[in-house]
Amino acid sequence: MGLFGVNMPPLYGEGAKAFQRLQLEILRVSDDESLFAWQCDPPADIRNPDLQYAPGLLAESPAAFAMSGDIIRSYFDKERPPFSMTNKGLRMEFLIAPKCNKDIKVPLNCVQRGERVSLTVRKSVWGSMPGFHRTWDLCSVNNTKKYSKRTVLFIKQRGLSWFTPYMMGRRPLHFVIRSDSLLRSGFTVFEELNSDNLRPSEDVTNHIQTRPIQEHGERECRFTIERLFHKVFLNFWNWDSDGFVLVLWVDNPTGMYEDALAVSIFVPEQQTLAQLYPILNENINKIVHQDPDVISRADRISRCMKSGKSVSVALRRGVDSGNLSYILDIKIDPTGKLLWPDLDSEIAIK
């Protein structure tokens, strides 16, 4: 921030988006278009042509500028209007060639080794929203005389977050359970079962992992899921045989939105996860098939347990020990107060 002369408050849990916010702050005080003169190879795990993903004008990492150290400012379009961020994306008025096909070359006000640096902007459609995006690399133009048509382009910053369902299949998912309230109520261990690891003929008990809630004296429990999942069951119980099951699930595993992970709570009669698994799986499949909006994309939910106490769970994204993580804040209320709506109270697993 000091190098670029900008001020911006740090935001807890912002993660990789902080670098894009820094670039926006630089745009507010500078018209240096070398900010857009970055290039990099797309990550290998998103080179799927059917994925319909492309970058925006802002880089997602400082590493994208690794080959841009010799790019300097040199005005080609001195009358270019200022940039502005709108709800349609970054609004820019470029000079382009009058006749353009699918790809539009956009000369920038900067050069590299004496050649005019240019972006390639491509029109695309995401669902029902048309827009423009840039390609991953830079190009150069020698003859700028034909670039005379002033054109307004709205370029949306489409980022592929680590939390999209597609990336869930390529990167591990880190979870942190805030366990102070659980420990006070006698919950000391929980069972984890990733349902995607199962085949119909396999024994459920071979895939259950029992984990302590308190590790090394900390009031937090951390665990990692290494691959894409549709449903993960976390079964909690205490010495009073009070228990509940958290279900973490992706409600649209092929979608491209970021907040695809949902959480639900079930209060069953049985205690062991091996007994619960077929019943849980059947009930959730019924819910998704009959009314997918009942508990779809819930990030805060409460339920009453058999003892009359309540359990409330808030799911959010954050940063823990340098890792982008999902934070599960679980609170047990001895009075039975529901902190969040009981969205699936009509669903009881017996």
The predicted-structure confidence for 238-268, as pLDDT tens digits, reads as follows 877 789 999 887 654 444 344 467 788 888 8
Question: What pLDDT score was predicted for residue 164?
Answer: 44
- Residue 142 has a CB neighbour count (10 Å cut-off) of 7
Dihedral in degrees, nearest 10, Cα atoms 217, 218, 224, 230: 120
Write out pLDDT tens, residues 46-56. 544 444 456 77
pLDDT for the residue numbered 217: 66
Q: Given pLDDT bands bounded at 50, 70 and 90, which one contains residue 342?
A: low
Of the pLDDT bands very low, low, confident and very high (cuts 50, 70, 90), residue 333 is very high
Kindly list the structural domains of the chain, giving each domain's residue range(s) and its CATH number in brackets, ordered by start.
Answer: 17-155 (no CATH), 172-333 (2.60.270.20)
Phi, psi of 138 (to 5 degrees): -105, 165
pLDDT at 40 exceeding the cut of 80: yes
- Residue 347 confidence (pLDDT): 43
Q: Annotate 212-276 with DSSP letters as a single string.
A: ESSBTTBSEEEEEE-S--SEEEEEEE-TTS-EEEEEEEES-TT---S--EEEEEE--S---HHHH
Determine the average pLDDT of the residues in 321-347: 77
Residue 37 CB partners (closer than 8 Å, separation 6+):
68, 71, 108, 110, 112, 117, 138
pLDDT of residue 295: 44
pLDDT (0 to 100) of residue 51: 42
The pLDDT of residue 259 is 44
Q: Are 226 and 278 in contact (CB under 8 A)?
A: no
Burial of residue 210 (number of CB atoms within 10 Å: 0-12, 13-18, 19+): exposed
Condensed to tens digits (0 to 9), the pLDDT of residues 161-211 reads 433 444 444 567 789 999 899 999 999 999 998 877 777 677 888 888 898
- Specify the DSSP class assigned to residue 3: T
